[in-house]
Amino acid sequence: MQLASILERAEQLYPERIAVRDGALTLTYRQVADRARSLAGWLETRSVTSGTRVAALELNTAAYLEAYFACARLGAVLVPLNFRLSAEELDFILRDSDASVLLASPELAPSVAALARLGSLPSNLLWLGERPEDPLLTDLAGATYAEALATLPQPGRAPDLPADALAHLYYTSGTTGRPKGVMLTHGNVWTHALATVAELGLSDADTWAHIAPMFHLADAWATFAITWVGGRHVMVARFEEEAVFRAIEVERTTLSNLIPTMLNRLVRHPSAETRDYSSLRRILSGGAPIAPEVVREIMRVMRCEYVQTYGMTETSPYLTFSLLKEHLKALPPEEQFRFRAKTGRPCIAVELAVIGDDGRPVPPDGRTVGEIRARGATVTPGYWKRPDETAKAFVDGWLCTGDLATLDSEGYLDIVDRKKDMIISGGEKVFSTEVEHVLYSHPAVLEAAVFGLPDATWGELVTAAIVLRQGTSATAHDLIAFCRTKLTHYKCPRAVHFLAELPKTGTAKIQKRALRERFAAS
């Protein structure tokens, strides 16, 4: 089982088909495969072999896709780096993973310079482009991508590797401490790619836009699934609304997966209503919960099938899809919408269970809340060099996700909160996502985050941070009163803070921990 064989298959079946569009660069599958073999050859000259860690600090580019396959060919372990992290955070990951090579974008040269000052820059540096003209980097040795691609390609087919051979190390955002390296094997990634091909009906007619960052599994899985079927990859280096619209309209994107905050920004864009979405057959959201009102707006504006996904880095990532079962397609539109806006039913590659506080599966009544647990061929074997953390994450072979959900009679899950985000106010459980969904239905609200703050009387106070839509206005009193028309009193915010922007992770997820820390100190 070898991930590199996915590209070899595409080269064999679709040699002259356009594989990648990256700005002005257009590559066929034969060219991508040749470049990946040359990159593998260059890595081999730097003593990269099976198990060697290779870090990548890069935007969404053709070179990133080639790096995934070059490392797979050698059995090396790719360590994708979140380029929005601080130098200190990147320093920790490079030291923890013991990476011996860094593949870096010239656009991210300041971060590379900072790593050099911290002493964690790997001994081998490859610029995925031209050598940057930065005075801070003049003393750093580093080859250019053109030099690497001139290397004699590694000949022959890639060797087979066992399913449990390590393929990738994805570091979590570290919301509960130091980031942990999630280990994904060739078997994990291979099985997940094949499962998504089946679930989403992927084919060589598809064009996938890489919009969410390729350092994160919200998008990286498509590197393998789309290549497997000979589809076309369109690179969007960074999330910018105009760049995304161009990828959809000009490159004729058929599907992509975006973080909810990205989708919210797209459909609220002033030009959203006038754009051409005719090429889209499906738009997916994943990486964070999404409010039903945002789902309605996506479906109304983009006029294509919407699929909600749910997963984790630890599960390669997808665990569920809100794809409708055949008999549900006969329901009235509003009933169909109710299922499309749910977290979804299990992916064919995994088993899921929703376990209550009593340790038993919850009844499929759509009301009783329990923790989602998962097992299957796409689930991580554990955390890099963290056997204690690995042991804590599993119970009887099931991965404990930390996500709370209900299960309905059709087998569809609906997440209500993260365990750590659930608020206990006056002894009552308040699920932050339920309150957020109500706030998103207010016409003045662009973004909302609900969290608990310590309180001597109530234990925790339900608190909201709000970004208003441009050209609208609302007061804290307005929003609290609005919530009271739709929620029982103890679920309603006691305090509302207005911000110009909510803090977000490198993958555009809202950071509630940062909000709790900010307002607890105020």
Q: Residue 318 sits in a domain of what CATH number?
A: 3.40.50.12780
Q: What is the Cα–Cα distance from 159 to 72, expressed in whole angstroms?
A: 10
331 and 355 in a common domain:
yes
Candidates 38, 19, 72; CA nearest to 210 is 19
CA torsion, ordered 287, 291, 293, 298, to nearest 10 deg: 0
Domain boundary among 150, 165, 185: 185
The tally of domains found in the chain comes to 3
379 and 279 in a common domain:
yes
For residue 211, being part of any structural domain is answered with no
Q: What is the Cα–Cα distance from 430 to 489, expressed in whole angstroms?
A: 11
Model's pTM, two decimal places?
Answer: 0.90
Which pLDDT tens digits describe the chain residue by residue (522 residues)? 689 999 999 999 999 999 999 999 999 999 999 999 999 999 999 999 999 999 999 999 999 999 999 999 999 999 999 999 999 999 999 999 999 999 999 999 999 999 999 999 999 999 999 988 776 666 677 899 999 999 988 888 888 899 999 999 999 865 446 889 999 999 999 999 999 999 999 999 999 999 999 999 999 999 999 999 999 999 999 999 999 999 999 999 999 999 998 999 999 999 999 999 999 999 999 888 888 999 999 999 999 999 999 999 999 999 999 999 999 999 999 999 999 999 999 999 999 999 999 999 999 999 999 999 999 999 999 999 999 999 999 999 999 999 999 999 999 999 999 998 999 888 888 999 999 999 999 999 999 999 999 988 888 999 999 999 999 999 999 999 999 999 999 999 999 999 999 999 877 889 998 999 999 876
Q: What is the Cα–Cα distance from 139 to 121, expressed in whole angstroms?
A: 13
Taking CA atoms, 288 is separated from 235, 254, 284, 415, 466, in Å, by: 22, 22, 12, 10, 17
Where are any strands of DSSP class E within 322-422?
Answer: 345-346, 350-355, 370-376, 382-383, 394-395, 398-407, 413-418
pLDDT of 136 reads: 65
pLDDT of 522 reads: 66
Beta bridge partners of 318: 311
438 and 394 in a common domain:
no
258 and 369 in a common domain:
yes
457 and 506 in a common domain:
yes
153 and 181 in a common domain:
yes
Given a contact cutoff of 8 angstroms between Cβ atoms, the answer to whether 167 and 185 are in contact is yes
Given a contact cutoff of 8 angstroms between Cβ atoms, the answer to whether 167 and 183 are in contact is no
Q: What is the DSSP letter of 163?
A: T
Taking CA atoms, 156 is separated from 49, 230, 418, in Å, by: 16, 21, 47
pLDDT of 137 reads: 67
Structural domain that includes position 46: 31-185
For residue 173, being part of any structural domain is answered with yes
pLDDT of 135 reads: 64
pLDDT of 355 reads: 98
pLDDT of 456 reads: 80
Judged by phi (left if over 0) then psi (alpha if -120 to 50, else beta), residue 124 lies in beta
Q: Give kind and range of the element (H or E) at residue 9.
A: helix 4-13
CATH number at 446 reads 3.30.300.30
The answer for residues whose C-beta is within 8 angstroms of residue 332's C-beta and 6 or more apart is none
